[in-house]
């Protein structure tokens, strides 16, 4: 019988994520004293598999959000809060196609046409999402263009900067980790979350175009599945970088947690790893921050 694939990535100095193809995930603290006998002390070099790669990616998101529960107060959603969230959504989507195309060009220069093709496809799929946000704002009677030109919600700028920087790197593989983090969290949003927003909007107003397309009802679910498959096919070094940037992006997103669109998604985060068996050392659970 073929051996199950095990993958691991050190994401912070003292925590590595270990994931098996069967779906189990551990958070492992490398021990200095046992370095010679710790098989996870050196970076992985083997092939990836979908079951273990998704464990690493989702483990990285859970780890990034690990500190959040303690400081969250959850006021009821408001229409103003939602408008702020849609402005944030506009800013995180307006430059996405251009950034992804830039990274794709770099991978073509590097002789990696398969990565370039993946990024170009993503760029095509993300085109026009900023316009969904503008339409939502207009539907709510807000001067959309003026608002987005003059207002950047708190917590959004560092996210945009993170993606800009990743796409401009000499070896921009990390941008896939950022995209995974945002899309995976968006895909956690349920129909009930959309209903809650509808209830805030004036009667007959459809202002959930962006939200619907960035929820479990929209294209994000397929984007996430395709990304997992693609990342699993990459070399060990590339997978390590992608998982590390997924973690870094989750940390930045967790900082901006008060941002309305993230709330419902972050509430669903515990479910990310809940399908995994939960026995053993920190297995499938969020470690305390």
CB of 128 to Fe ion, least distance (A): 9
CB of 82 to Fe ion, least distance (A): 18
- Residues 272 and 93: their CA atoms lie apart, in Å, by 24
Q: Which is nearer to Fe ion, 195 or 225 (CB)?
A: 225
Q: Which is nearer to Fe ion, 29 or 222 (CB)?
A: 222
Site string for Fe ion, 113-152 (x = CB under 5 A): -------------x--x-----------------------
| Residue in 223, 230, 201 with CA at minimum distance from that of residue 93 | 223
Q: Which is nearer to Fe ion, 129 or 209 (CB)?
A: 129
Give every CB contact of residue 84 below 8 A, 6+ residues apart in sequence: 153, 259, 260
CB of 148 to Fe ion, least distance (A): 16
Q: Which is nearer to Fe ion, 20 or 223 (CB)?
A: 223
CB 93 within 8 A of CB 101: no
91 binds Fe ion (CB under 5 A): no
> For residues 148, 150, 156 and 158, what is the CA-based torsion angle, rounded to 10 degrees?
130
Structure-block tokens of residue 30: 């490398």
- Residues 261 and 88: their CA atoms lie apart, in Å, by 9
Segment near Fe ion (CB under 5 A); pick from 97-105, 221-229, 232-240, 264-272: 221-229
| Residue in 85, 186, 212, 74 with CA at minimum distance from that of residue 142 | 85
Segment near Fe ion (CB under 5 A); pick from 21-29, 137-145, 158-166, 222-230: 222-230
Residue nearest to Fe ion (CB): 129
Q: Which is nearer to Fe ion, 6 or 93 (CB)?
A: 93
Binding residues for Fe ion, total number by CB under 5 A:
4
| Residue in 96, 105, 106 with CA at minimum distance from that of residue 171 | 106
Q: Which of 223, 239, 259, 263 binds Fe ion (CB under 5 A)?
A: 223
Q: Which is nearer to Fe ion, 5 or 250 (CB)?
A: 250
Q: Looking at residues 249 to 278 of the shown chain, list those that interact with Fe ion (rule: CB under 5 A).
A: none
Q: Which is nearer to Fe ion, 28 or 223 (CB)?
A: 223
Q: Which residues sit at the interface with Fe ion, rule CB under 5 A?
A: 126, 129, 183, 223
């Amino acid at each position: 019988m073929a051996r199950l694939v095990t993958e691991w990535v050190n994401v912070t100095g003292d925590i590595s994520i270990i994931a098996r193809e069967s779906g189990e995930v551990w958070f492992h603290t490398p021990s200095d004293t046992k370095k010679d006998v710790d098989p996870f002390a050196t970076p992985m070099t083997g092939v990836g598999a979908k079951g273990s790669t998704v464990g690493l990616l989702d483990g990285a998101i859970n780890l990034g959000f690990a500190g959040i529960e303690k400081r969250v107060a959850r006021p009821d959603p408001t229409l103003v809060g939602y408008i702020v969230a849609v402005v944030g959504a506009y800013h995180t989507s307006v430059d996405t196609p251009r950034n992804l195309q830039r990274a794709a060009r770099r991978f073509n220069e590097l002789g990696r046409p398969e990565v370039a093709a993946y990024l170009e496809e993503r760029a095509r799929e993300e085109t026009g999402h900023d316009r969904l946000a503008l339409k939502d704002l207009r539907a709510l009677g807000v001067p959309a263009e003026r608002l987005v030109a003059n207002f950047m919600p708190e917590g959004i700028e560092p996210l945009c900067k993170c993606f800009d920087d990743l796409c401009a790197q000499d070896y921009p593989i990390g941008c896939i980790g950022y995209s995974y983090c945002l899309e995976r969290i968006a895909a956690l949003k349920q129909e009930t979350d959309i209903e809650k927003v509808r209830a805030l909007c004036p009667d007959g107003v459809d202002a959930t175009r962006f939200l619907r397309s960035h929820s479990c009802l929209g294209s994000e679910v397929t984007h996430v599945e395709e990304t997992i498959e693609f990342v699993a096919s990459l070399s060990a070094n590339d997978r390590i970088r992608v998982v590390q940037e997924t973690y870094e992006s989750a940390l930045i997103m967790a900082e901006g947690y008060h941002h309305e669109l993230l709330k419902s998604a972050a509430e669903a985060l515990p479910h990310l790893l809940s399908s995994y068996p939960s026995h053993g050392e920190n297995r499938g659970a969020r470690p305390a921050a």
